[in-house]
Amino acid sequence: MQSAEEKQAPQGWKRIGRAIMDAALVPVLAIFSAIIVGGVVIAVVGGNPFAAYLGLIQGAYGSTKAWSETFVWATPYIFAGLAVALAFKGGLFNIGAEGQLAFGAVATAWVGYALPGMLGVELPAILHIPLAIGAGMLAGFLWAAIPGALRAYAGGSEVINTIMMNYIALNITSFLLNGPMKDNNPLNVIARTPEIAEGARIPVIFDGLRVHWGFPLALIVAFLVWYLLWKTTFGFEIRTVGANPDAAKYAGINYKRVIVLTMALSGLLAGLAGAVEVTGLNYRHELGFSIGYGYDAIAIALLGRTHPLGVVLASILFAGMRNGATRMQFLTQIPVDIISVIQALILLFVAADAIVRYIYRIKAKEDRLVLTRGWGG
Amino acid sequence: MSEKKIVLDARGITKQFPGVLANDLVDFDLREGEVHALLGENGAGKSTLMNVLYGLYKADSGEVKVNGENLILSSPRDAIYKGIGMVHQHFMLVPVFSVTENIMLGAETDHRATPNESPLVKLDRKEVAQKVKSLSQQYGLEVEPAAIVGDLPVGVQQRVEIVKALYRNANILILDEPTAVLTPQEADDLFRIVHELTTRGVSIVFITHKLKEVLAIADRITVMRGGKVVGTTTPQETDEHQLAAMMVGRDVILTVEKEVAHPADDVLLVEKLRVRDVRDIETVRGVSFTVRAGEILGIAGVQGNGQTELAEALTGLRRIEGGTIQLAEKNLTGKTPRIFTESGLAHIPEDRQRHGLVLGYTVADNMVLCDYYKAPFGVNGVLQQKALDENSRRLIQEYDVRTPSPYVSAGKLSGGNQQKVIVARELSRANVKLVVANQPTRGLDVGSIEYIHKEIIAMRDRGVAVLLISAELDEVMALSDRIAVMYHGEIVTTVDAKSVTREQLGLWMAGSKVQQPAA
């Protein structure tokens, strides 16, 4: 009996190892291809691609400070990337992370600056931080549940509805930050909330570096999402609805409820991205603080093959590129915008994986990444 | 006969797909005016060969001669140009177009004097309709040029496909599983048409896996197995058993051995059930019947007479409009699939890839698709991987599922093994009282069919009620203790399986009135 067990173990690990290799193959080759093409672009505009990439790597991962800043960038990417990836697993395309994130940030900021005043007491951090973050999660959860319910019970495409709701969310946010929630410090002219209370702030990990405990939290949440999806019965339901809604019905799964909850949980994660940015980094919500995290998250989820581990790695890569770009520009005068080109190329190669497979002569796999069933599917 | 000219000659056709050698040095020839049947199980390589001949696939090696001319067919357009026409198993017709429009589609008459004239000219339907009429008279293929294809019965749609090929001057016709969707009467009609066509010099390749048809219609028979040609023979030289043995490589029992049934109490009680289909048309129109413990009730009928909706209603997948469903003395009218399952239903669904499996999931995951939430598989909302593994290893062995490991995704298994995964999952569940098996052996190889039939009978013998729905009349007749014939959403009659003939059932399936009182 024991020997049989021993025989099984390496087999299992080997299997997992091969699965990771298979999953990582296309993304890694896509990144590689994008770097090559990006290098050609840099050379064509008269730069030295080697110097540029060296500057990029130094700026991103070359020092303790560089790593710290990369992790700061990576934190919202991980949360938002997980949000999009979770929805993909459930067969849903959440383009609304941007709006869910904005509402999460607004709710968190409000709890952060207004709650002590309303209650008339300073809250201890142990209470105030969870309350503030919880408010952001709840806001994202509820906001995303709406397109989820529209999809489940009225057949409305979540793709269209989440895009629409982004505009609604961003305009309401703009109204709130310019009006009722505006920082009324007489010196302030921009649309932003007051600073949140000291007690609502996530502390930094090391003095002198900006990286805060939100980053380890993001890693824990990534693990929890993985556990939810692959180890729980509810995760089984989400994946079944995503992979084959007809089989889900057949299996007795209440797929409408699963759709609403998947969307809502995706929104919760996006809301968390906003909440952690407010409590860990900015200490307030400011219009235009999210420079498209919700959209980058789609690229990150795709590059990470909608797997939490992949999302973490893709986030650190994207964060590094954003972070290192400044140093690259400083050293080589190559504009930071080249980073957007490279990121777009990566996404292009990942999304159109047939190109990558063709270039590198990889045999087609049967099981393609199933993302969404599209219209009412 | 054998002196006739060879119109189509394929030599040494080899076609490799990832992991499968679909055609291995296949030789196949077709003589003028003959019906050459290509017989083989699913996956034997028949369709691959025909797709090579029709220019849909490019062979890795080998050569094709049409009328003695060496050809490289790189698209169906080439094949059509050379006079090869194909009627696919799934018709390639536009349902909202008229017969004429469908026939001219892709072969619109060009009335422009020079290519520089505007391409936006009026479609000349009249001329085409005229030609369609003359073609259909010439070959005895009755079709109404102005009819909308979607309104036509399947048999007539098939005729439209044939006329379409003839319109393109085809003198070689490939018919891919042409009788799969037809009633026995419609099939007879088709045979008459095929005969008519051959007397006028059209040569026909008739692809099928039905032995009786082959013997009835073919001049020559070529049997394929595992990508190779096993042999070529004629109906005079062979019989059903020999052909079956050639197809599967061993002798098969064509009849199912079973003991006499000992039916007991009513398990499934259906009363005045009414169901609408996706188009919101009532396709089950007041159906009542019972299935008793320890018996198999077979539902015979041509596909599309309400069987799909009936099965979905009986398993909770489709909302019902009226009537009641009682399973094991519990009223399950309007309940969800989960409650049906928990009340003792095992469901082998019609479309195994759409409903029965998640193809991207491992075999192990698929084997708990309906029970993942219950102990021992789900405890406090957490999946128990160990229980999943043990369960799948046990079922793989018990039900002889051929898979390299439980962790292979179900999509990588053959059709027969996919079906075995479903059968294993459904029949092994504790406390099964009713099995609803809808097309349980569709598209499977003979070996798997035999196996699944045995399992279904074993369930019956254990005192489980079985409702079998199948478009294969032979299957219904071989397995059932009682047979209900479904036509146009109603159960026309229910008879004792032993006291009815194939011909009689065929007539009822085609809608003729019941003369004798139902048993």
Q: What pLDDT, on a 0 to 100 scale, did the predictor assign at position A17? A: 83
- Residue B42's pLDDT band (boundaries 50, 70, 90)? low
Asked if B517 and B503 count as a contact pair (C-beta separation under 8 A), the reply is no
Are A244 and B357 inside 8 Å of each other by CB? yes
Peptide bond into B376 cis (omega under 30): yes
Q: Can you read off the two tokens belonging to residue B43?
A: 């996956």
Q: Does B278 touch chain A (CB under 8 A)?
A: no
In sequence order, the 6+-apart residues with CB closer than 8 A to the CB of A17 are none
pLDDT in tens, chain A (377 residues): 333 333 343 466 787 888 788 788 889 999 999 999 999 999 998 889 999 999 999 999 999 999 999 999 999 999 999 999 999 999 999 999 999 999 999 999 999 999 998 988 888 999 999 999 999 999 999 999 999 999 999 999 999 999 999 999 999 999 999 989 998 888 888 889 999 999 999 999 999 999 999 999 999 999 999 999 999 999 999 999 999 999 999 999 999 999 999 999 999 999 999 999 999 999 999 887 667 898 899 999 999 999 999 999 999 999 999 999 989 999 888 888 888 899 999 989 888 877 787 888 776 554 455 555 443 32
Question: Beta B482-487 vs B296-300: how paired, if at all?
Answer: parallel
* ipTM of the shown complex: 0.84
pLDDT average, residue stretch B137-148:
85
Q: Which residue has the tokens 């919500």?
A: A285
Helix (H) / strand (E) element for B312: namely: helix B307-314
Dist CA A241 CA A249 (whole Å):
8
| A304 Cα to chain B: minimum distance (Å) | 18
Give the CATH number for residue A63.
1.10.3470
CATH of B6-112+119-248, one of 3.40.50.300, 2.120.10.70, 3.30.499.10, 3.30.40.10: 3.40.50.300
Among B315, B351, B350, B346, CA closest to B332: B315
In contact, B64 and B53? CB cutoff 8 Å: yes
CA distance A310 to B315: 39
Residue B178: what pLDDT? 87
Q: Measure A251 CA to nearest chain B CA, in Å.
A: 4
Say whether pLDDT at B112 is over 80: no
Whether the CB-CB separation of B321 and B282 falls below 8 Å is answered with yes
Could you tell me if residue A40 is inside a domain? no
Neighbours of B458 (CB within 10 A): 12
Confidence at residue B109, expressed as pLDDT on a 0 to 100 scale: 58
B169 touches chain A (CB under 8 A): no
Nearest CB partner across the interface for A247, out of B355, B385, B407:
B355
Mean pLDDT throughout B155-174? Answer: 89
For residue B30, what are the CA distances in angstroms to A253, B239, B263?
A: 53, 22, 52
Count of domains for chain A = 1
Chain-chain contact of B370 with A243 (C-beta, under 8 angstroms): no
Of B317, B356, B360, the CB nearest to A370: B360
Residue B253 has pLDDT above 60, yes or no: no
Q: Are A40 and A351 in contact (CB under 8 A)?
A: no
- The CATH code that applies to domain B253-344+431-519 is 3.40.50.300
For chain B, say whether A13 makes contact (Cβ under 8 Å): no
Identify the pLDDT of residue B348: 96
Q: Is residue A197 part of a domain?
A: yes
**Beta pairing, strands B84-87 & B172-176:** parallel
Q: H-helix or E-strand containing B434? A: strand B434-438
- On whether any CB of chain B is under 8 Å from the CB of A14, the answer is no
Is the pLDDT at B258 greater than 90? The verdict is: no
Q: Is residue A249 part of a domain?
A: no
Q: Three-state DSSP class for B47?
A: helix
Does residue A279 lie within any of the structural domains? yes
Mean pLDDT over residues B386-397, rounded?
A: 95
Give residue B508's pLDDT. 85
Lookup: tokens for A231: 């180890």
Q: Identify which of A273, A287, A297 has the alpha carbon closest to the alpha carbon of residue A104.
A: A273
Res A289: pLDDT:
65
Amino acid letter for position A87: A
Residues 6+ apart with CB under 8 A from A275: A104, A105, A107, A108, A132, A133, A135, A136, A137
Q: Are A308 and A223 in contact (CB under 8 A)?
A: yes
Sheet with B228-233, edge to edge strand ranges: B84-87, B172-176, B203-208, B35-39, B220-225, B228-233
- What are the Cα distances from residue B238, in Å, to A194, B231, B232, B243? 92, 12, 10, 7
DSSP labels for A146-207?
HHHHHHHHH---HHHHHHHHHHHHHHHHHHHHHTTT----TT--SSBPPPPPGGGPPPBSST
DSSP code for B362? B
Structural domain boundaries, residue A104: 48-232+262-333
- The ranges of chain B annotated as CATH 3.40.50.300 are 6-112+119-248, 253-344+431-519
Cross-strand pairs, B482: B297, B496
